Each structure stands twice: as C-alpha cells, then as structure tokens.
Amino acid sequence: MGAGAVGRSVAKLAGEYGHTVTALADSSGAVVDADGIDVAAVLARKRGSGTVGDAEVATALDAPYDALVEATPTTLSDAQPGFGHVEAALERDRHVVLANKGPVAERYDEVRALAADSRGEVLFEAAVAGAIPTLSTIDSLGPERVRAVRGVLNGTANFVLSRMAAEGLDYEHVLAEAQDLGVAEADPSFDVEGTDAALKCVILANVLYDGGYTLADAEVEGIRSIPGSALELAAEDGRTVRLIGEVSDGSVRVGPRLVPENGTLAVTGTTNIVQLETEHAGQLNISGAGAGGPETASAVLADVGRLPPVD
Amino acid sequence: MSESDVRSYTVRLELQDEPGELLRALEPIADNGGNLLSIFHERGNVTPRGHIPVEVDMEATPERFEGIVEALRDAGVNVIRAGSEQYSEELVVLLVGHLVDTDLSDTLSRIEDCGNASIDDVALSAPDGTDELSSARVRMDTHAGAVEETLATVRAVADRKGLHVVEPLAEGGDA
C-alpha cells in the first residue's frame, strides 16, 4: 500500500529479493494480479496518469498476499489510513511490514494487540532511520540491554544545521536551498519542527519499554529558533548544534543540542546516525541514509525476508 | 580540624601567558592554608582561548580547600576543575532570543543564584543589532552531580524570559 518513493522502490526491488508483487495501491487506485503485477508497466502508468490502476484501493487489501507493505504517508493521532491497512492484514492472518511511522508511533499498543490475535507478524525496521538497521540491532542485543538510544534521525534538519554551520548562512537561506535540492519538502514543518524525529524516537521507546508511548509523551523542539550566530558561537568553542533525538530512562526528547564538532554524532548533510548505549556491548554507532526510496526499501525488504512463511 | 581531615586535591587552572601570572595563582593557595605538592605548567599545550593550563596538586582540609577555590576565583584566576568532587563539571549552553532586552546580566546572575554553578565566561553575538535576536554561549562550572539541577535552573530562567536554551548532550553521550 502506497506508491510514493518508498512504495515504488519496494515494488521495483521485490523481484530481486525473490518476492512477487501481487498488488499495488496508491491513494486513488489499485492494480491486482495474483500471478504478479507487471511492476515496470504499472509504474510507467503511474508516471503518465498519476495512478497505478483503475481498481478500487480496497481491492488491494483483498488481494492474495503473504505480507502487506504499508508505505502510505505517515499521519498523526488516528494514523489512518495506515492503521486500517495494518488491521485488515492482521485480521486475515497476514504479515505487515511498515515504512509508515504512524501506526507504531501513535497506536502501538493497538497494533500489538491486533498482532497478538493474529498469525501474522508486524515488523517496522524502515520506520526508524530508513536504511539503518536500528530495530534489528536492538532485537539482537535484547531491548532490555539497551540503556539509551540517541541520534540524528532527520536528514532534512541535519542538512539545514550542517549547511548553516559550514557556510555561515541563515536558516531561511539554507532552507530555500534545501527545497531547491529536493532535500526539504515545500512544507518542511514535519522535519524542522522535530515531529519526524520524535515519531522515530517514540517508536524506539515503544520497542525498548514495551509500548505505552505516543507523540504526546515526547518533549519536542525544532530548529527554527537557531540563528546562524548561535552556530558560530558553538563553532568557536569546538562544538556544533544538531537536532538530537534521545530515548533514555523512560523519556523521549527531541531538540537542538550542543555536540562536539568532530564528535560521532555531528554527522553532516542528510546522513543519519543512531547511537546505542548497551549493557554489555558498550556504545554502538550506526550511520547511513535515513531516507530515500531504494535505501528505505532495502529495510522493508529485509523485514519481509525475516518473516516466517504463512500457511 | 584534625590532621586526618587533610586530603589531597588537584586544581586545574587556565592562566594568561603573562609574567607573574603563575605567582598570582599560587599565592591564594598558600595564603589560605594549602600545602603545595606539585605544579605542572603545560606551556606547550595552549588552550583554544590562548591560555596555558596549569595543574596544581595540594593538600588541605576540605574547608580550607573551599576557601582556596573561592580565593582563586576572587583573584580572577580561571579555575577549570577543582578537586575530584567539587566544581568538577564544565557545562556549556547556548542561549538564543532577545538577550539584551531581557537583561543578560540579570539572566546570568539568576543562574548563579541557584548556588550550583559559577559562570566562567560568556560570548555574545548580536549580528543584527541588540534589538534583534541574539545568541550567547555561556560556560559554567558546576558541582559534580549538579549538572541536571543547573540545567533545570537555566531552563526555568530562560523560560521566564522567553529565551531558547540549546543544552549540551548529556554525560555519557558523545565522547
């Protein structure tokens, strides 16, 4: 479900990973074929006419499949339509792989309850820091042995802050540049106000502390209030400012923070980094692409590969 | 005060590279009952602010040691670290907002009034004039274990004046 950058990339790469795409839906239409849709033709059609097919969106939910990939845009509070798609798949005892953050950030406990009553499983590696294997790393370590997670979880905000620091430019100027480059969206508020990073942190908190968190539990501050002069003062002192998400001691916090200029967390450009404080394994740092179609699709397909066969 | 109260302490100072500076820094120690053990003058290791770090080992009772640190600060000596327990954490925050209109010096003294921190230096940048948004970098020394408390004070003071605080990432964070 979903034919944005991530959904399209998943469809394109699925064959290479040994999977068959039996249905693809966007917000206005769907295409279904139990023997596998012609992905190239469907995506060409999407480029031409704006939709993947004439069928009702709901027919994709009724299509034969083992795993539903939910890659519609992230929405807040009721997390629809993503949540409804998750529900539909689990009720049919099918697996769900999420790239959409909404359902596992805003309605995690409900998703867990649905999964408990289903033979299907829910995985969502792609929802946290794109290509970076965050959740599978936490899973290998054991969530109870991870003391804290912090990191740079939004490429747009990081691009803006690192450009401001490197070029001595102001927020508005760098934002306009980011929009020209396609790094920032026309409405960048989700990224620069910290909401996107906060949703990822909320998902991490749900995983570490076994549920109970929504966006309302996060303390969130964005980067709009940081002038170039603040970054200059930080640089004079060998420091810089990054939008850091932090999950520790049961709390979730996102905001601009001072970090050493050459420190591990001061990644530049659109790079993301996840830092885990662990019980026995010390500190682990994983950096890489936190967004992007093929990058995020690789996390989706890794999840698909982890799922057990359905009967 | 018995002899058994005497402990050894290490004080880390930053001195300006001028004649007589070292003597000026050592006098308050001797004058306040500290017994100098060793002085390590790191001449080759100038700090980013052009100062020379000096590490002084001494013996004193805890009460006298407190007096020594106070006297050093009164003499204008930059005490970066003192002892293993006291004033041992350096804390740097950025403040952003209408710093001048909201009386920066009052803001700073309110932070010091909490009793956990002493402010070492402040750098202000107001590129668009003092009527516009400005930024300040504030370097403080806090008692060990009082970092969270100090940050809470900074947050509360800033909140009352409508200022933004950019806090450092907590201890155990980025090494």
Q: What percent of chain A has a predicted confidence (pLDDT) above 70? A: 100
Interchain CB contact of B172 with A (< 8 Å):
yes
pLDDT at B65 over 70: yes
Kindly determine whether residue B136 and residue A234, on different chains, have CB atoms separated by under 8 Å. Answer: no
The pLDDT of residue A77 is above 90: yes
Interface test with B, best of A229, A240, A253, A283 (most B CBs within 10 A): A229
| Binary contact (B166, A258; C-beta < 8 A) | yes
Looking at A162-166, A223-227, B40-44, B157-161, which range is the least confident one?
B40-44
Domains B3-82 and B89-166 share a fold: yes
Facing A260 at nearest CB: one of B134, B135, B174 = B174
The band of B144, judged by pLDDT with boundaries at 50, 70 and 90, is low
Question: Span A5-131+293-306: which CATH code?
Answer: 3.40.50.720
Contact A259 B168 (CB under 8 A): yes
Chain A residues with CB inside 8 Å of B133's CB?
A: 227, 229
Contact B93 A277 (CB under 8 A): no
- Measure A285 CA to nearest chain B CA, in Å: 10
Q: How confident is the model at residue B86 (pLDDT cuts 50, 70, 90)?
A: very low
* pLDDT tier at B173, thresholds 50, 70, 90: very low
Using an 8 Å Cβ cutoff, are B55 and B10 in contact? yes
Using the Cβ of A257 and the Cβ atoms of chain B, whether some distance falls under 8 Å is answered with: yes
DSSP B29: H
Question: Chain A partners of B48 at a C-beta cutoff of 8 Å?
Answer: 236-238
Instruction: Show residues of chain A in contact with B168, CB under 8 Å.
Output: 239, 257-259
Q: Distance, in angstroms, between B123 CA and closest chain A CA?
A: 7
> For residue B156, what pLDDT is reported?
94
Instruction: Please tell me the class of the A135-289 domain.
Output: alpha beta
Tell me whether residues B169 and A256 touch, CB distance under 8 A. no
Residues in chain A: 311
What integer best gives the mean pLDDT of chain A? 95
A265 touches chain B (CB under 8 A): yes
> Domain residue spans in chain B?
3-82, 89-166
Residues A10-49 pLDDT 10s: 999 999 999 999 999 999 999 999 999 999 999 999 999 9
Annotated active-site residue A46? The verdict is no
Tokens of A190: 């989700």
Report the residue from A221, A246, A258 with minimal CB separation from B94. A258
CATH superfamily of B3-82: ACT domain (3.30.70.260)
Q: Is the CB of B48 inside 8 Å of chain A's CB atoms?
A: yes
Mutation target to probe the A interface, by most A beta carbons within 10 A, among B137, B147, B148 is B137
Percent share of chain A, pLDDT over 90: 92
In this complex, the residue of A227, A258, A277 whose CB is nearest that of residue B167 is A258
The answer to whether the CB atoms of A264 and B166 lie below 8 A apart is no
Please report the pLDDT score of residue A271 as a whole number. Answer: 95
Binary contact (A238, B48; C-beta < 8 A): yes
Q: Residues A78-91: pLDDT tens digits?
A: 999 999 999 999 99
Homologous superfamily in CATH for domain B89-166: ACT domain (3.30.70.260)
Spans of all domains in chain A: 5-131+293-306, 135-289
Query: A287: which 2 tokens?
Result: 């950096």
